[in-house]
Structure 1
């Protein structure tokens, strides 16, 4: 029994050390590839760009669409998590009420499925990146690793694919449409949205004004 606990302790120490090392490394170095990219099997098209080369409209749009409290929470939105728990109690697919920080942790260090075990790992990495990376780096990494289309990852590759120009000059409408497609980038059309995706994009575009007015994206640019 003692050997078993020693073995578990060694695994825990190894995991903590490795996860810390990776988080510190990726604070300065772009993550070269992610599990999502490798497991999708659709090829990988990506082009890392610093946040200074990504139009602020896209930052504003993803905050408006995904995480209005991005600048004020510590990586976790307690209200969203509570709502997710209530939905999960009713049955069906497990939902997590994920923030942009949680999505970044999942996209970079983990995989897309896995239920509560993966959510626990996600919480650990979210805690680390919030305290080691900070908000600006989290947003920069998120906008470079998020899937923006089939086999397409990041803002720059997405902008080139859909609009034939750089992510450095996205209009409000373009940014809102990219943000609207992010939850289901393989199914939602960015260039010719219809139905829900079109309406959701219009809603995001309207919310962007509120985000900018209230400084809800200020932590990224301070």
Structure 2
């Protein structure tokens, strides 16, 4: 009997503490979810990034695609600073339309000063003063639109170079938005003389007809270096509507526009020193 009591006493002392034995369990020994180590700030940030990327994979792909395209464009602009563009998107579009391309590249030294001045007077009077975009002209266009005045353009020569090389020839707000950063990049990477040289060699003067040399030979049977002032003005004022206007046989509207541009030449000559006196 005594042995049984001794064993029972030993069992009670050796048994784990429970509510029945009346022994309280120390709180510090109870495992808790709050005892897990807190994630470090860097770990939480990385988890957030991973979850965001998983939730929006298409945004990540678009970002990568944008960076690749931007890199290719910038690299090509650096190359085109020294190498003539072999073809442009506008030329490709014309080719797809079934037109036979006519073009002949000439350096700016072989383009008549009359032509250089005429195209600035017609297309971009502040060419030597702005850095790619003529915001004063943009404001004038917006004011004209508010007053329901006839539509007028505000595209600078660098913007038109961007359009011809990389974009498309039909109008859209998207194209205009893309022209702005491209124009700034072009003016940053190229001197103004190079900008004008490229423009005069890739601008469209008629269906499938690109470059002032090809246009001069087709319409006036002479090289671009031999253009007179009037011939240069007629060619320059063909650029806004190359598929409608014919500089060799200008209609009444074309002659009126050409006369207005020709009257501006003395004034523009004072502002075109970046290409007339390089």
Q: How far does the alpha carbon of each residue in 1:70-110 deviate from its partner, in whole angstroms, 9 at most, with x for none?
A: 0001111112112333455678x997511111111111111
Map of 2:15 onto structure 1: none
Structure 2 length-normalised TM: 0.74
Structure 1 length-normalised TM: 0.91
Map of 2:191 onto structure 1: 134
Q: How far does the alpha carbon of each residue in 1:19-75 deviate from its partner, in whole angstroms, 9 at most, with x for none?
A: 111111111111111111121222210000010110110010011111110000111
Counterpart CA distance in 2 for 1:95 and 1:194 is 20
2:233 to 160, 168, 176: 176
Map of 1:29 onto structure 2: 83
In the TM superposition, residue 181 of structure 1 has moved relative to its aligned partner by 1.0
Counterpart CA distance in 2 for 1:84 and 1:52 is 34
Contiguous gaps of at least 5 residues in structure 1: none
Q: Helix, strand or coil: the match of 2:81?
A: helix
Counterpart CA distance in 2 for 1:102 and 1:55 is 23
In the TM superposition, residue 132 of structure 1 has moved relative to its aligned partner by 0.1
Contiguous gaps of at least 5 residues in structure 2: 1-51
Counterpart CA distance in 2 for 1:150 and 1:217 is 29
Map of 2:273 onto structure 1: 218
Query: CA separation of 1:95/1:12 partners in 2, compared to 1, >3 Å: closer, same or farther?
Result: farther
Q: Which deviates more, 79-88 or 8-17?
A: 79-88
Counterpart CA distance in 1 for 2:115 and 2:259 is 14
Q: Helix, strand or coil: the match of 1:75?
A: coil
Map of 1:198 onto structure 2: 255
Map of 2:220 onto structure 1: 163
RMSD: 2.1
Mapped contact 1:181–1:189 kept (Cα < 8 A):
yes
Counterpart CA distance in 2 for 1:6 and 1:38 is 31
Counterpart CA distance in 1 for 2:109 and 2:133 is 26
Q: Which has the higher contact order (CA 8 A, sep 6+)?
A: 1
Map of 1:45 onto structure 2: 102
Counterpart CA distance in 2 for 1:104 and 1:181 is 16
> Aligned pair 1:6/2:81, yes or no?
no
Map of 2:72 onto structure 1: 18
> Aligned pair 1:74/2:136, yes or no?
no
Query: CA separation of 1:7/1:88 partners in 2, compared to 1, >3 Å: closer, same or farther?
Result: farther
> Aligned pair 1:60/2:88, yes or no?
no
Counterpart CA distance in 2 for 1:15 and 1:90 is 39
Q: How far does the alpha carbon of each residue in 1:173-196 deviate from its partner, in whole angstroms, 9 at most, with x for none?
A: 100100111100111120121211
In the TM superposition, residue 119 of structure 1 has moved relative to its aligned partner by 1.5
> Aligned pair 1:100/2:157, yes or no?
yes
Mapped contact 1:94–1:115 kept (Cα < 8 A):
no
Q: Which deviates more, 63-72 or 37-46?
A: 37-46
Map of 1:153 onto structure 2: 210
